Structures are given as structure tokens and as C-alpha cells.
Structure 1
Amino acid sequence: MGFFERYTNSKLYHYVDQFFRVIITNLLAVVTIVFGLFFFGIGAAIIASTYLTKLIFEKYEGPVIGVFYNAVKRNLKTSIKITLLFTVILAILIFNTMFFFNSLELEFTWLGFIGFILMSLATFVSFNAYIHTLLLSTCYEQSKVFVLVKNGYVLTFGFFLRSIIFSLFSLGVLALVLWIPILGILVGVFLEAIVIYICFLKGYKKIPNFENRDDMVADSYIK
């Protein structure tokens, strides 16, 4: 067996191949977000990149662009509805968070401090619920958006530790973006789908009667 054959059959080749496939996946997500003017593309991009990352980590070796396109096309409409709803929710929460933060800069009060903490926590909870709702919409396509949103919040508290890990990661990326913008963007773009897959999608196996719905959804994007 020649060197090339040994290399292509080695674990090193497998990991390098996975690495580049994940990079391509996240580049596709960035392109989708940009051409979708952020608002119209971000939800579908998160869904597509997370499921494609799942497939790559679970030994899928086929082309990635077609799978990504299928996932975006199927989930675009619902993801826009979910994004619209959570944009309103998060905008209100962030506004209130900044209001209490600015009031604390003028004068410290316990009411302002408690309000700031509660609004900050509610913002992170809602951001987690947004990701959960997007993923649930792929597994329960017939469910109404408000039912998906409710279950998104339920799962945020149900997977409390996973939600904390994801929130800390997101907060770290945000801090890195503010400190070194280009590095923060690169880290966020490359790792976001991986972290969502590990923290959220893999945890769904523990949901009663889930019955590997995510596997069926992922397989449907290949066809």
C-alpha cells in the first residue's frame, strides 16, 4: 500500500477532512446570512450548519453544498417567522437591560441592579430558547410557532447545564468580538454550529418519545 493510500485511510486524514468540511459549512452559513440580509438568513443558516455539522461528525462523506441548500430551502419560511418573533422579544429585553445598566452608571440602586440582572438572564434564556425553537421546528414541522417557542423555553430550563455552557460560549465570543473583532468573528463562525450541535442537538436524544427525529431530518436533507 502506497503512502497516499495509507494517508487517505488514516485517522489523520479523517480529522483533516472533517475540519475542512466544517469550515466549508460555516462559510456557507456566512454567505447565507449575508445574502439573507442577516434577518432573513440567520435562522435557516443556523439550522443548516448545525445539521450539516451533525452529519459530518457522524461519518457523512458526501457533498456538503447540496445538503446545506436542501436544509435552507426547507426551513427558510418557518425560520423567518421564528426569527421575527424572537427579534421582538430580544429587542425588548436588550433595551430593558441597557436601561437598567445606564441607570446604574448614574446612581447605584438595588432596584436597578436587580432589574439589570433579571433582564440579562432573561436575554440569555431567550437566546437559548431561540436556538432550541429553530431546531425543534425541523423535527416537529406541523407544530405551530408559538408551541415551538413554548417548548424552546421549556428545553432551555430542561437542559440547564447545556444552556449555561452555550451562554458562556456566546458571552465569550461577544467579549472577543469587542476585544479583537476579527478573531472573535472567526471563532464564532467556526465554532457556533459545533457548540450548538454538542450542547443542544445531541441532548435531544434524552427527550421522551423523540425517537431519533434529528437523524431522520438529517437523512432527509441528503436525498
Structure 2
Amino acid sequence: MLTDLFSNILTTTSSNITVTQLFWILLTSLSLGFLVATIYKYHTQHTKEFVITLSLMPTLIAVIILLVNGNLGTSVAVAGAFSLIRFRSAAGSSKELLAVFLATAIGLATGMGYLLLALTFTLLLSLIIFLLEQSSFGKPNAKFRYMILTAPKGFDVDDFFQQNSHNLWNKMELVCIHYKKKTDVLVMEIILELNHQVSDQDILNLLLQEGVIDLVLHQQIPKKKRL
């Protein structure tokens, strides 16, 4: 059974590929592309443009693999084209990169004729992604808050957070502090580990009473331009 996964429907070279073989390659690529796009959309803020691209990407890659099979010069040219596209594209989220890599793997497998292998690993990975989305695996700790605090220059951040540490939070980590000379204020990035039964409104009320100029409170650390 395991050897069947690596069975190849392309018994001849790509120049002699039959219409039936081409039909099954394109149909499998398109079907699995729609499956990957459907899994990606689950619990994800997405755009229609990216979903359509994800659906058609395996078919496009499969066609490219069929065209460059055995042609070294064409393969190098295609690799260069993909490099240009990559460096002119904005960096996506980790889940977007996962979906793109999965779509690429499908296109490579189907383009080389390994249809059963492509179907098997797509179904397996799709099931794993679905189960992980349903579970609490990787879910941020609900007790942590990421805060951007703007206060007057004389604001004693260490003294303030030490005085209230037993009431509202267990731990405070000052990530960075920045002094803006033009407005004469301090901008601080702080991570708090809250006590149980403490709400965000309690934090807001306390800080606003202390004369804080501006306050931004996140339930998780905002995404940076990195994985």
C-alpha cells in the first residue's frame, strides 16, 4: 500500500503526455487547490484575491513542472522568475506562508505525476490544520496584556507598578521606554501578567486616574513583520 503512494501516472516523458494524463493532473491539482483554500479560510481573515490565487496555484505549478521536465535551461529561468515575484511581494502571515507552501507541494507532486501522494498528504495536513484550529493549541495566555503607555516625563513607572503589583497583576515587564523630546512625554511598551478576576476596565481606570496621556491595551502582542 505504501508503494502505491509513489506510483506515477506519467510513464512517458512530458512531450508525449496523453490527454487523459493531462486531464487527471489538472483535475487533481484544481480539486486539491480548492481544498487548501477552504481550509485556509477557516477561522482566518482573508481576501477573495488570495483565496482565488491559492485555489489556482497548484494547477499553475503543475503545468510549469510539466513544461520544464528535463529542460535545465527552462528550469533555471522559471526559478529566476519566482525569485523576482518573491522579492516584490509583501510578507504574509505564517498561515498564509503555510498555505502557499502546501499549494506549491501539491503542484510539484501532481506535475510529476504522483497524484495519490498529493491527495494523501493534502488530506492529512488539512485534517491536522482543522484539528489544531479547533483545539486550544497555541492559544495566547489570557492573563497577559501588552500595553503601550504614553505618560508625562516625570511619571515613575517602576514605583507605580510596584505599588499596584499585589492588587492587579503578578508580573510587569518593561519591554522598552522611549522619550519624545518634541512632545516631552514617555512612551513605554509593557507586558503585564494579570491576577485572576481582574478585567481590562480595572487596568484602564487605574492608569487613567494617574494622569496617563494615552493608553493602548492589547490582549496579545501585535504581529511584527516576522514569523
Give TM class, smaller chain.
Answer: under 0.3
Higher strand share: 2
Which protein is bigger by CA-based radius of gyration? 2
Provide TM-score, normalisation by structure 2.
0.26
Provide TM-score, normalisation by structure 1.
0.27
Higher helix share: 1
